[in-house]
């Protein structure tokens, strides 16, 4: 597979906004593997993020905590039991204790760190959970420990496979592969320089296909890493495209996805999406200082 060029950190930070029509909240979901819970990262404006605990059995949502920082959702992960969150954030306060960026492990859905590692730049960072109380730190260019916790322990032996480069894809691709996605060869050499393709089987013979794009010439309102999706039914020769789905995942026998600041769920039949419904609208929110309960 052809490899793309590395994208400078400055371009990861670049986002364009419309003054006439604000963009919807941007959403990314993290689903626990062994418990029916998840965390939704809600971003907007660009340097303000709120977390939500998602009860996937009842589709109830509980606001966690806001932070004035850029959380890199593709370098984040949720522990298998849903109790802890690992994330990478940039505050750009370069004279602070963390030197402007850091990796933290918190009690989901809160952001207050129980373990904190300063970074000082935006290369690498974040990590993955290898067990409910063990994590891999994406440490390519070096962290410095500020404080640690007996709640979680660093996995020194784990080596992530399937990642690429020193930015978001170094964590995001290994997370997708771990969670049941398969990586496929893109259709052409020109396209392969700009995106990678992942697939996951769905009920009723459907396949969820994720196009993971990476390009400095990105759509307005996204960063240079963004995803688009489609549903494919090979046996029926049917394909449905959803370019506005910014995140999508299988959840049991249903499909969940984010579009225009709203989280959705639907079952599948031979025709496609069945009984689609909006679970929560995250758009009309403003920053709110909320201390963690620990």
The yes-or-no verdict on residue 7 having pLDDT over 90 is no
Average pLDDT over residues 3-10: 37
* Domain span including residue 54: 24-167
Specify the pLDDT at position 223. 76
Specify the pLDDT at position 215. 81
Structure tokens at 167: 């930015």
Nearest-angstrom CA–CA distance, 147 and 170? 24
The edge-to-edge listing of strands for the beta sheet with 134-137 is 127-131, 134-137, 153-154
Specify the pLDDT at position 11. 35
Specify the pLDDT at position 206. 98
Per DSSP, the three-state class of 174 is helix
Specify the pLDDT at position 155. 97
- Residue 10 in any domain: the answer is no
Same domain, yes or no, for 36 and 161? yes
Same domain, yes or no, for 44 and 158? yes
Looking at the DSSP bridge assignments, the partners of residue 113 are: 106
Specify the pLDDT at position 256. 98
Contact 223, 236 (CB under 8 A): no
- Indicate the burial class of 19 (C-beta count within 10 angstroms; 0-12, 13-18, 19 or more): exposed
- Residue where a domain stops, chosen among 167, 200, 235: 167
In the chain, how many domains are there?
2
The yes-or-no verdict on residue 10 having pLDDT over 90 is no
The yes-or-no verdict on residue 294 having pLDDT over 60 is yes
Specify the pLDDT at position 19. 43
- Residue 109 in any domain: the answer is yes
Specify the pLDDT at position 21. 59
Average pLDDT over residues 164-174: 94
Phi-psi region of 44 (alpha: psi -120 to 50; beta: other; left: phi over 0): left
Same domain, yes or no, for 34 and 141? yes
Kindly report which listed range (183-187, 218-222, 232-236) carries the lowest average pLDDT score. 218-222
Looking at the DSSP bridge assignments, the partners of residue 105 are: 86, 115
- Residue where a domain stops, chosen among 104, 139, 167: 167
The yes-or-no verdict on residue 188 having pLDDT over 90 is no
**Closest by CA position to 66, among listed 218, 266, 291:** 291
The yes-or-no verdict on residue 221 having pLDDT over 90 is no
Same domain, yes or no, for 68 and 94? yes
Same domain, yes or no, for 235 and 256? yes
- Residue 14 in any domain: the answer is no
Same domain, yes or no, for 236 and 257? yes
- Residue 13 in any domain: the answer is no
**What is the distance in angstroms between the CA of the first residue and the CA of the last residue of the chain?**
46
Tell me the average pLDDT of the chain: 90
Average pLDDT over residues 80-88: 98
The yes-or-no verdict on residue 190 having pLDDT over 50 is no
Contact 118, 136 (CB under 8 A): no
Nearest-angstrom CA–CA distance, 22 and 42? 15
The yes-or-no verdict on residue 140 having pLDDT over 80 is yes
Same domain, yes or no, for 68 and 157? yes
DSSP assignment of 135-160: EEE--TT--EEEE--TTSEE-SS---
- Residue 85 in any domain: the answer is yes
For the chain, give the percent of residues with pLDDT over 90.
82
Nearest-angstrom CA–CA distance, 75 and 170? 8
**Closest by CA position to 82, among listed 27, 129, 138, 14:** 129
Average pLDDT over residues 83-94: 96
Same domain, yes or no, for 124 and 92? yes
Same domain, yes or no, for 31 and 102? yes
Specify the pLDDT at position 278. 98
> What is the rounded radius of gyration, in angstroms, for the C-alpha atoms of the chain?
18
- Residue where a domain stops, chosen among 109, 135, 167: 167
- Residue 134 in any domain: the answer is yes
Same domain, yes or no, for 157 and 187? no
Same domain, yes or no, for 139 and 246? no
Same domain, yes or no, for 161 and 32? yes
More confident residue, 11 or 51: 51
- Residue 11 in any domain: the answer is no
- Residue 200 in any domain: the answer is yes
Kindly report which listed range (6-10, 107-111, 144-148) carries the lowest average pLDDT score. 6-10
For the chain, give the percent of residues with pLDDT over 70.
89
Average pLDDT over residues 258-274: 97
Q: Give every CB contact of residue 3 below 8 A, 6+ residues apart in sequence.
A: 164
Give the highest mean pLDDT range of 55-69, 138-152, 185-199: 55-69
């Amino acid at each position: 597979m052809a490899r793309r060029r590395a994208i400078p950190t400055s371009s990861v930070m670049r986002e364009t906004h419309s003054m006439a029509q604000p963009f919807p909240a941007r959403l990314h979901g993290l689903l626990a593997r062994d418990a029916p819970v998840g965390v939704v990262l809600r971003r907007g404006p660009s340097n303000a993020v709120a977390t939500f605990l998602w009860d996937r059995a009842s589709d109830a949502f509980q606001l966690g905590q806001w932070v004035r920082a850029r959380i890199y959702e593709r370098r984040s992960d949720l522990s298998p039991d849903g109790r802890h969150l690992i994330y990478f954030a940039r505050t750009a306060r370069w004279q602070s204790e963390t030197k402007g960026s850091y990796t933290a492990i918190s009690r989901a859905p809160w952001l207050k760190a129980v373990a904190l590692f300063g970074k000082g730049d935006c290369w690498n960072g974040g990590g993955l959970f290898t067990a409910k109380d063990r994590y891999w730190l994406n440490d390519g260019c070096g962290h410095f420990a500020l404080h640690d916790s007996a709640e979680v322990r660093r996995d020194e032996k784990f080596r992530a496979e399937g990642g690429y480069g020193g930015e978001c894809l170094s964590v995001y691709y290994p997370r997708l592969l771990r969670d049941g996605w398969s990586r496929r060869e893109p259709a052409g050499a020109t396209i392969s320089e700009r995106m990678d393709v992942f697939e996951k089987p769905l009920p009723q013979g459907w396949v969820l296909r994720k196009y993971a794009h990476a390009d400095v010439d990105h759509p307005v309102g996204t960063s240079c890493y963004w995803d688009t999706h489609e549903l494919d039914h090979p046996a029926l020769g049917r394909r449905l495209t959803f370019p506005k789905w910014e995140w999508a995942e299988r959840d049991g026998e249903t499909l969940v996805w984010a579009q225009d600041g709203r989280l959705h769920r639907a079952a599948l039949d031979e025709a496609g999406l069945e009984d689609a419904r909006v679970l929560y609208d995250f758009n009309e929110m403003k920053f709110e200082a909320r201390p963690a309960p620990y």
